[in-house]
Structure 1
Amino acid sequence: MITIEKKLRLPDTYPLERIGKLEELLFFDIETTGFSGDRCQLYLIGCTYYKENTWNLIQWFADTKAAEKDLLDHFFDFLKQYKTVVHFNGDGFDIPFLQKRCKHFNLPYSFSDVASFDIYKKVKPYRNLLGLDSLKQKTIEQFLGIARTDKYNGGQLIEVYKDYLMTHEEDPYDLLILHNEDDLKGMPSILPILNYPDFLEQPFTLSEQEIVDEPGANGRCRHLLKLTCKSSCSLPVPVKASMPPARCVMEKDQITFLIELTEGTLKHFYPDYKDYYYLPFEDRAVHKSIGACVDKDARVKACASNCYTKTTGFFLPQFEDIWEPVMKQEYKDKMRYAALGDVYLADEAALQKYIKAILSYLK
């Protein structure tokens, strides 16, 4: 086994204290001869960590097949100093692979004493909202405007490692070590993607609300509720998301929503329809205690689809039930509304719930 240690200069791209204490974080990445932890070999583990006011790199390289167990021993002994491991899709690949290799060698090691922070998993719920085609590291780099070209893919490196085991020449060794080092050095470049879940998961402060008009496709004017909110976090790249009747723009520390209002007559459906009569001539439902006084020819037993009262005016799409009474166009419609007069955004809990409902809808 070969151990490589050096000091690094890494850019400050993200406030790591949001993840944990800097000295308690261990970034790591592994290199293997394939995807299966049962059949393939681990040949390199690389870590970066902050100690004595500087970033450091440590790598353990299996210069022979027999050295694989030594890599595991040294890595897990080193891991005891840390409380959180940080990685990209390590929950999906790196950690399960290491656990299987430990099982192969009958080693007692595990990650049970450390927290796991997976950049991939943290961003995954927001993939569609951010418009990401995939969650590959290269896709995230492109989203953030980072230009980095990988000269070799995983399959090519496997062949390079096999060549090294046969020849122990310097060139394939340098290539393998530098590739892993570059991956670890590149991790800070994608850390700014974490600002998006931070931004979206923190409470927002409403700074402005107004009704605005814009021309519609058919020449009619559309009325929209415009909400401008502030966040304690700031985004590196602006994002737009749209799905009628809502859209939003996220830029720096601000998010702006535009939600199209519906004008007309909507219905509030009572859930306990068996307790109501439907009055066909009035097109509404009344409770049986009142309907008993109505002529029998002017009433019928209500069913789920006609047990309603109607309201005319402007309505705000709710996306989930927040304000009562909940209004719909028809009984089976999924979209729910609230009469604009019933919407009270000064209620902090209702505001946060409504923002989360819009974002969930846009995802």
Structure 2
Amino acid sequence: MEIIEYSYDIDNISYSLDKYFDENTVFFDIECTGLSPRKSFIYLIGYAVRLGNKIAITQLLAKNEAEELEVLEEFEKVICKYDNLLGFNSTRFDEAFIVERCRKYKFNTAIKTKHHIDMYLTTTKAKCLLDLPNYKQKTIEEFLGLHREDKYNGGELIPVYQHYSLMGDNESKDLILLHNYEDIKGMIYISDIMAYADLLNSDIRYLSHETDENKLRFEIESSIDLPNSINKIREYGMYIIKGNRIYVTLNLFNGSLYTFLPDYRNYYYLINEDMIVPKSIGESIDKSCRRPASRQDCKVSAEGSFVALPKGFDVGNTRVFKPEYNSKEAYVSVTDIKEDIFIKITRYMLKH
């Protein structure tokens, strides 16, 4: 087995890097000769640890299958010193592969006892924000602006490794090491992608709002600073996220709408007057001129500016207005919107 070591300094410790890659965490990535741990073996494990602003990357390279156990044993010594593991698609693939290969050698590994964060699974929780074509590591790297030298994937490097194992040529070895090194360095870089999933449940606060003839605009501050901006258009409005600011624009309707009273059973509908009155008043009116009010009857007209709401959005106790009782479109009056509604609308838009 050969051990290859590198180190480099990080100029800027981002939110995600600081949260997820502390000095008690090991980034890791494996390379193997196939997808089945029963038919294939691990020929390379690369891992990274952090000390302040310095990142140390180590690669454990097996010349052939006979050296695989040595690689596994060395990696076990490393992870026993740390509480946390971090990788990309690593809970379902890398960890499972290591466990199966250790079982082959009747070697007990502590890997499943570690707190393990899988960046792939975390990132897919933010699909509502990201809308990427897929959530592969290279796709996320490109989204965040990282362009790597390595052009291969793990499957394409299997024959390269087999050639290296047989011939021992340095060109094949360099290609293998470069791919794994850039995978690890890329994972460290794209840890920033986890900020998008964290944003969905982060602390946010209302800053300000303004209206014009047909738009309501408001600004929200988040506790998380995103690396790349996001903008989404919905039928009822849009939002833009830049850094730790969320700028929301909602469509306004100017005119007359109805709010419907929830206690309709307490009213009579006066047939000739097309109006409702409380039952305490209506009891004195001839029965032929009145009937129990329905939900549709108990409406109050209001004139003003109204914000279009997302379908299914719950505004709690705030009055809701509609063109008609059965209308799917729902609105709230601009005058009724308070800070908690701005926050609630923002959270809904981010998650849908």
For normalisation by structure 1, the TM-score amounts to: 0.80
CA distance in 2, matches of 1:262, 1:321: 19
CA distance in 2, matches of 1:102, 1:115: 19
Among candidates 311, 316, 322, match of residue 301 of structure 2: 311
The one-letter amino acid paired with 2:114 is V
Is the counterpart of residue 250 in structure 1 residue 244 in structure 2?
Answer: no
The one-letter amino acid paired with 2:251 is E
Q: Structure 2 regions of 5+ residues with no counterpart?
A: none
Is the counterpart of residue 325 in structure 1 residue 325 in structure 2?
Answer: no
2:250–2:307 CA contact under 8 A, matched in 1: yes
Q: In the alignment, which residue of structure 2 is the partner of 1:337?
A: 331
Q: In the alignment, which residue of structure 1 is the partner of 2:162?
A: 162
CA distance in 1, matches of 2:271, 2:110: 69
RMSD: 3.3
The 5 A counterparts of 1:83-162 are 83-162=83-162
Q: In the alignment, which residue of structure 1 is the partner of 2:82?
A: 82
Q: How much has 1:255 moved relative to structure 2?
A: 1.7
Classify the secondary structure of the residue corresponding to 1:234: coil
Query: Once the two structures are superposed, what CA deviation does each residue of 1:317-348 show, in whole Å capped at 9, x if it has no partner?
Result: 34321242333445555554322222222xxx
Is the counterpart of residue 357 in structure 1 residue 351 in structure 2?
Answer: no
1:4–1:60 CA contact under 8 A, matched in 2: yes
CA distance in 1, matches of 2:137, 2:179: 15
Classify the secondary structure of the residue corresponding to 1:229: strand
Q: How much has 1:303 moved relative to structure 2?
A: 6.4
CA 1:291–1:33 in 2, change beyond 3 Å: closer, same or farther?
farther
CA distance in 1, matches of 2:37, 2:277: 66
CA distance in 1, matches of 2:163, 2:351: 50
CA 1:68–1:225 in 2, change beyond 3 Å: closer, same or farther?
same
CA distance in 2, matches of 1:132, 1:335: 30
- In the comparison of the two structures, how many residue pairs are matched? 348
CA distance in 2, matches of 1:343, 1:148: 48
Is the counterpart of residue 26 in structure 1 residue 26 in structure 2?
Answer: yes
The 5 A counterparts of 1:120-269 are 120-213=120-213, 223-268=214-259
Classify the secondary structure of the residue corresponding to 1:164: helix
CA distance in 2, matches of 1:51, 1:83: 15
Mean alpha-carbon deviation: is it higher for 267-276 or for 131-140?
A: 267-276
Classify the secondary structure of the residue corresponding to 2:96: helix
1:324–1:338 CA contact under 8 A, matched in 2: yes
Q: How much has 1:84 moved relative to structure 2?
A: 1.9
Classify the secondary structure of the residue corresponding to 1:148: coil
For normalisation by structure 2, the TM-score amounts to: 0.82
Q: Structure 1 regions of 5+ residues with no counterpart?
A: 214-222
CA distance in 2, matches of 1:164, 1:281: 94
The one-letter amino acid paired with 2:86 is V
Classify the secondary structure of the residue corresponding to 2:14: coil
Q: How much has 1:276 moved relative to structure 2?
A: 7.0
Query: Once the two structures are superposed, what CA deviation does each residue of 1:40-77 show, in whole Å capped at 9, x if it has no partner?
Result: 32221110102487321222223222333333333233
CA distance in 1, matches of 2:205, 2:267: 43
The one-letter amino acid paired with 2:173 is Y
Classify the secondary structure of the residue corresponding to 1:77: helix
The one-letter amino acid paired with 1:258 is T
CA distance in 2, matches of 1:292, 1:73: 88
2:44–2:60 CA contact under 8 A, matched in 1: yes
CA distance in 1, matches of 2:110, 2:328: 46
CA 1:277–1:24 in 2, change beyond 3 Å: closer, same or farther?
farther
CA distance in 1, matches of 2:212, 2:200: 25
CA distance in 2, matches of 1:280, 1:109: 80
The one-letter amino acid paired with 2:218 is L
CA 1:12–1:282 in 2, change beyond 3 Å: closer, same or farther?
farther
Q: How much has 1:261 moved relative to structure 2?
A: 1.8
CA distance in 2, matches of 1:122, 1:72: 27
CA 1:230–1:170 in 2, change beyond 3 Å: closer, same or farther?
same
1:84–1:116 CA contact under 8 A, matched in 2: yes
Classify the secondary structure of the residue corresponding to 1:22: coil
CA distance in 1, matches of 2:253, 2:46: 56
CA 1:352–1:52 in 2, change beyond 3 Å: closer, same or farther?
closer
Query: Once the two structures are superposed, what CA deviation does each residue of 1:18-55 show, in whole Å capped at 9, x if it has no partner?
Result: 42572112111111223334443222111010248732
Q: In the alignment, which residue of structure 2 is the partner of 1:5?
A: 5
